[in-house]
Amino acid sequence: MATRDASDTSDAGDPPDNSNPADDERADYDYQSADVQRPGLVADLQSLVDGEVRFDSYSRQLYATDASAYEVTPIGVVFPTKTADVAAVMEYCADREVPVLPRGGGTSLAGQSVNEAVVLDFTRHMGTVLDVDPEKQTARAQPGAILGELNQELAPHDLKFAPDPAWGDKSALGGAIGNNSTGSHSLKYGKTDAYIEECEVVLADGTVTTFGEVTLAELRAEGDPEGDIEARIYAEVARVVDEESEAIEEAYPDLKRNVSGYNLDRLVEESNSESGTVNLARLLAGSEGTLAIVTEAKVGLEPVPETKSMALLAYDDLLTAMADVAPIVDHDPSAVEVLDDVLIDLARETEEFRDVVEMLPEGTNSVLLVEFYAEDDADGKEKVEELRKDRGQSEDANAFGFLEAHDEAERARFWKLRKSGLPILLSRTSDAKHISFIEDAAVPPENLPEYVADFQQVLEDNDTFASFYAHAGPGCLHIRPLVNTKSPAGVNQMEAIADAATDLVVEYDGSVSGEHGDGRARTQWNHKLYGDHVWGVFRDLKSAFDPNWLLNPGQVCGDVDMTENLRFDPDYEFSAGFAPELNWDNENGFQGMVELCHGCGGCRGGQETTGGVMCPTYRAADEEVTATRGRANMLRQAMSGDLPEDEQFDVEFMAEVMDLCIGCKGCARDCPSEVDMAKLKAEVEHEYHERHGVELRERIFANIDRLSELGSKLAPLSNLASKMPGARALLEETVGIASERSLPQFHRESLTDWFENRGGPRIRTDDATRKVLLFPDTYTNYNHPDAGKAAVSVLEGAGVRVEIPDDVTASGRPAHSKGFLDKSREQAEQNVAALAPRVRDGWDVVVVEPSDAVMLQSDYLDLLSDESVERVAANTYGVCEYLDSFDFDLDFDAPAETLTYHGHCHQKATKKDGHAASVLRAAGYEVDDLDSGCCGMAGSFGYEAEHYSMSQAIGEILFEQVEQSESDTVVAPGASCRTQLGDWEGKEMGDEPPHPIEKVAQALD
């Protein structure tokens, strides 16, 4: 066996010199040039694989970013359907020395999933859970399988894939292997490598093989430094075990949370076991796709714990809390999480988390959240009580406050406090951002007090600050300094902090990465962490697996520089290309929102994922461009010069990127950064109209109030006309309205007519409990006045004086949603002028249709800026929100009926969707409140012929939830939602479900 002196690293392990590809064969495949210059590469790959091959500029830009601070435009993207596709791509690229990058959900925080390479996206076609064996507690899955969906399949067996990264419901199994992922419960479960049993892989020359457990004897016997690639791998692994074990044991920290470098410490540990075997698949854990491409994995599973209990310990400063971590770990908790004063103060200032912070004892500066797994409630309470006696009541107790939680709701409240950190940190729209580049450095828990004190000094020396939060138990604190990389000083500051942080983790026997991997942010620090000798071992191992260094080159032991390829660097320039029409009340205004997406992938809910709103079109299409992340990055790239000038106003850009944003506003709530794509689209679409004009259908939908008024006056003739043979086909051919879609029906007597004809208000002002202006939204007024009548009935039953104002116009929602901002502003001005004086006199504004209510509550603030609009917005309510917000005396006698409630996206986005279910329950109904997303109708979207199939695909997710509910009746407040549900399986308008207020009115005694 050939050997070398591992201490000599002058040339050891160096990658081949392929920086100047001079060979003629590779020159024919100039993958760095414009699209038109690589037809050979694209055509060849298309002929080799069944999956899609995309080398267009839009696809490349979509995969230029991940959840990190980096941006690198790839050569192209391939969506393999099977292992044979992967092998064909790898073999072809190996022959031409074209780099290849396997990619999962793109949620990596260190930049390891972006590179100048052919990207293999496994999440589109290779995300299947292939097999579950409950008895052996194993599962087999493809690399694109999303961890959250894997655990959904395991739930009926009371099993789970134990590593739980924060974005596990969006992260892929292949990515978890590549990063050696872990999570909040690593104290119990360790890292992903502990659960890898075997992997099918494609090697760097296209060879397909399976790595798993192998004896040391087999390694030595089958290894051959001069043989094929698999024999060379065996030979190098055997050499590492035989010659480098002592050096590895000395260099690696004794730490639960170390994922820096290659997983050689586990290799050496296994080689020293009595079994005489090592598992080669586990060597891939943390390799970031640089050694081989995983195409299938068999993983071990863990039982779901019977129950849990939690304690919250309050401290007057962070260092005191850190001193308690090691003693708390001795109690065998499943998790120990920390939150410092920076995040507690920020959480206190936000509406969403304020109530959670208020539970903390006065004077709390930092908290430790401690969770225990327990066999039953008594066991859980006993564990918490033992911790209380030790760390909450003993003479050396550091905590001055001790809270506990045992039931699920209270535990969720504790975890909500802990999880408040990331959304707050990621919501900055300034040039300076909390960047992830040293956020997961880790040290042994007993070293935390000194380490944190020194780290605070590093931040102070570099004139910035950071929050300290997350996994204190295993010593992995998330620390994100505030840095502006758009300035040269900020870039220097970033590197100086990373350099000093590396010195600290070396001093305190830690690691530069305890969770998120090396990537572009930390690869350069592995040399300092491990020293010349082990750095050389890394590079030799890399060369054995990947002789030409084509697999995700530069990472782990390569030459990437943390200050290169930054998404925002000193050369970054931004130009919106127009003057924004809306109010952008944040730092950097419109630009700040465009640049806000951090790429975490929270919008990438899988096709089977339910819950939350974001992002409906991605759930239906499973395409990156249909996710909020895809659209936000493309918009930023268009406005920062990565795409041709003014590309954002190009017809193709609007059709391919912006068109399928359905304006649900889910991202404004569900995205950790609160990227408001609906608002961004309205701005861009308005400018698009200014440049390209307006089509007839867009104008019709923007003025639907006028059409509805006319339809009402002509009813019932207008209703008969839409049902005439060929009418729908003609509408589709001439205007583009889907012929499959049932059309709104009009009432000759509108709501306002009915209210006037009955004599107006029926509650005297002097007798009224409150006074309400019932806003006559277009749909309720002309298409479904019964919901408005029900609202009047219930409000008057509560002693409320109700009037319908006659000096208002349509809310402006249809025009606003289509980007007609001039028109929506004009309508907002008229309505505010009419409503504001009455509001000042003590009247409230109530709206039946949710999207119109949110228009007045939220979108008017984007259009107008004065005290009047703020007053109107603050005193506008959806009808069920209004009934749920005040203590009304109502007598109910509901029928014995169970209801399935589907809330409206806009109300969910503004956190007002729970009121209807609350009122229905108060009325006496049993309610199944669906955790549903968008219905797919989205105003005019579901009527448009080219969007009908997408609308139905989104709707299928809701339809499945409704089918699974065993309730008697479905209710939905949104007109669009009721239309979609009414059209389900070809049902006609008569089958539309009722508005919740109609059921409330029915229950009135």
Residue 407, number of CB atoms within 10 A of its CB: 11
Task: Give the 3-state secondary structure of residue 411.
Answer: helix
Q: What percent of the chain has pLDDT over 90?
A: 82
DSSP secondary structure letter of residue 202: E
The encoded tokens of residue 479 equal: 């620390």
The CA distances from residue 791 to 794, 802, 970, 990, in Å, are 5, 10, 18, 21
The candidate with the shortest Cα–Cα distance to 711, out of 752, 745, 755, 756, is 745
pLDDT of residue 611: 66
Average pLDDT over residues 784-807: 97
Average pLDDT over residues 542-563: 97
β-sheet bridge partners, residue 1001: none
Name all contacts of 14-18 with Cβ < 8 Å and 24+ positions apart: 14/539, 14/543, 15/539, 15/542, 15/543, 15/548, 15/549, 15/553, 15/558, 16/547, 16/548, 16/549, 18/97, 18/548, 18/549
The candidate with the shortest Cα–Cα distance to 741, out of 503, 552, 455, 980, is 980
pLDDT by residue (tens digit) across 194-216? 999 999 999 999 999 999 999 99
Residues 153 and 223 sit within 8 Å (Cβ to Cβ) = no
pLDDT by residue (tens digit) across 504-536? 999 999 999 999 999 999 999 999 999 999 999
β-sheet bridge partners, residue 53: 78
The encoded tokens of residue 796 equal: 């008057």
Let me know how long the chain is.
Answer: 1005
Residue 635, number of CB atoms within 10 A of its CB: 26
Who's near 84: CB < 8 A, 6+ residues apart? none
Residues 846 and 795 sit within 8 Å (Cβ to Cβ) = yes
Q: What percent of the chain has pLDDT over 70?
A: 95
CA distance 507 to 836: 64
The encoded tokens of residue 981 equal: 């549900």
CA distance 246 to 248: 5
The candidate with the shortest Cα–Cα distance to 979, out of 935, 948, 947, is 935
Average pLDDT over residues 532-541: 98
Average pLDDT over residues 313-331: 96
Q: Which residues of 44-70 are buried (b: 16+ CB within 10 A; e: fewer)?
A: bbeebbebbbbbeebbbbbbbbbbbbb
CA distance 285 to 179: 6
* 615: Cα within 13 Å, side-chain hemisphere: 31
The encoded tokens of residue 461 equal: 């020396």
The CA distances from residue 813 to 47, 91, 283, 382, 705, in Å, are 48, 54, 56, 55, 10
Average pLDDT over residues 918-947: 93
Q: Phi-psi region for residue 214, left (φ > 0), alpha (ψ -120 to 50) or beta?
A: beta
pLDDT of residue 985: 61
Does residue 716 have a cis peptide bond before it, meaning omega lies within 30 degrees of 0?
Answer: yes
Sign of CA dihedral 964, 970, 971, 976: positive
The CA distances from residue 768 to 789, 835, 884, 892, in Å, are 18, 19, 18, 20
CA distance 859 to 36: 44
pLDDT by residue (tens digit) across 24-35? 333 333 434 334
* 434: Cα within 13 Å, side-chain hemisphere: 19
Task: Give the 3-state secondary structure of residue 878.
Answer: strand
Residue 417, number of CB atoms within 10 A of its CB: 21
CA distance 696 to 735: 7
β-sheet bridge partners, residue 338: 368, 470
Does residue 603 have a cis peptide bond before it, meaning omega lies within 30 degrees of 0?
Answer: no
pLDDT of residue 38: 61
Please give the residue that has the higher pLDDT: either 15 or 156: 156
Residues 698 and 735 sit within 8 Å (Cβ to Cβ) = no
CA distance 134 to 230: 33
Who's near 951: CB < 8 A, 6+ residues apart? 936, 937, 938, 941, 942, 980
Give me the amino acid identity at 746.
F
Find tokens 């939602």 and name the residue: 977
What backbone torsions phi and psi does residue 725 show, to the nearest 5 degrees?
-55, 130
pLDDT of residue 603: 87
- At 610, the pLDDT band (50, 70, 90 cuts) reads low
pLDDT of residue 31: 38
Q: Is pLDDT at 355 greater than 90 in this prediction?
A: no
Average pLDDT over residues 241-260: 96
Dihedral angle computed from the Cα positions of residues 381, 382, 387 and 393, in that order, rounded to the nearest 10 degrees? 90
Residues 873 and 855 sit within 8 Å (Cβ to Cβ) = no
The CA distances from residue 372 to 157, 305, 335, 379, in Å, are 22, 10, 7, 9
pLDDT by residue (tens digit) across 863-922? 999 999 999 999 999 999 999 999 898 999 888 899 999 999 999 988 888 999 999 999
pLDDT of residue 426: 82
What backbone torsions phi and psi does residue 630 show, to the nearest 5 degrees?
-60, -50
pLDDT of residue 42: 93
Give the range among 45-49, 384-388, 738-742 with minimum mean pLDDT: 738-742
CA distance 551 to 288: 9
CA distance 267 to 252: 12
The encoded tokens of residue 977 equal: 């939602």
What backbone torsions phi and psi does residue 681 show, to the nearest 5 degrees?
-65, -40
DSSP secondary structure letter of residue 194: G
Dihedral angle computed from the Cα positions of residues 193, 199, 203 and 207, in that order, rounded to the nearest 10 degrees? 170
Task: Give the 3-state secondary structure of residue 496.
Answer: helix
pLDDT of residue 198: 98
CA distance 567 to 114: 11
Find tokens 């959250």 and name the residue: 148
CA distance 1003 to 968: 15
Q: Is pLDDT at 21 greater than 50 in this prediction?
A: no
Burial degree of 538 (CB within 10 A; 0-12, 13-18, 19+):
buried
- β-strand 100-103 against 118-121: which pairing, if any? parallel
pLDDT by residue (tens digit) across 704-730? 999 999 999 999 999 998 888 888 899
Residues 762 and 689 sit within 8 Å (Cβ to Cβ) = no
- At 4, the pLDDT band (50, 70, 90 cuts) reads very low
The CA distances from residue 472 to 81, 326, 335, 367, 447, in Å, are 41, 9, 8, 11, 11
DSSP secondary structure letter of residue 219: H
pTM of the model: 0.91
Find tokens 């004063």 and name the residue: 341
Residues 390 and 436 sit within 8 Å (Cβ to Cβ) = no
The encoded tokens of residue 657 equal: 């990127």
pLDDT of residue 606: 52
Residues 620 and 703 sit within 8 Å (Cβ to Cβ) = no
pLDDT by residue (tens digit) across 818-870? 999 999 999 999 999 999 999 999 999 999 999 999 999 999 999 999 999 99
The CA distances from residue 712 to 707, 715, 723, 730, 787, in Å, are 9, 5, 16, 22, 16
Average pLDDT over residues 441-450: 97
Residues 170 and 605 sit within 8 Å (Cβ to Cβ) = yes
CA distance 578 to 590: 11
CA distance 284 to 212: 11
The candidate with the shortest Cα–Cα distance to 745, out of 992, 932, 928, 973, is 992
pLDDT by residue (tens digit) across 256-265? 899 999 999 9
Distance of CA 823 to the CA centre of its chain: 33
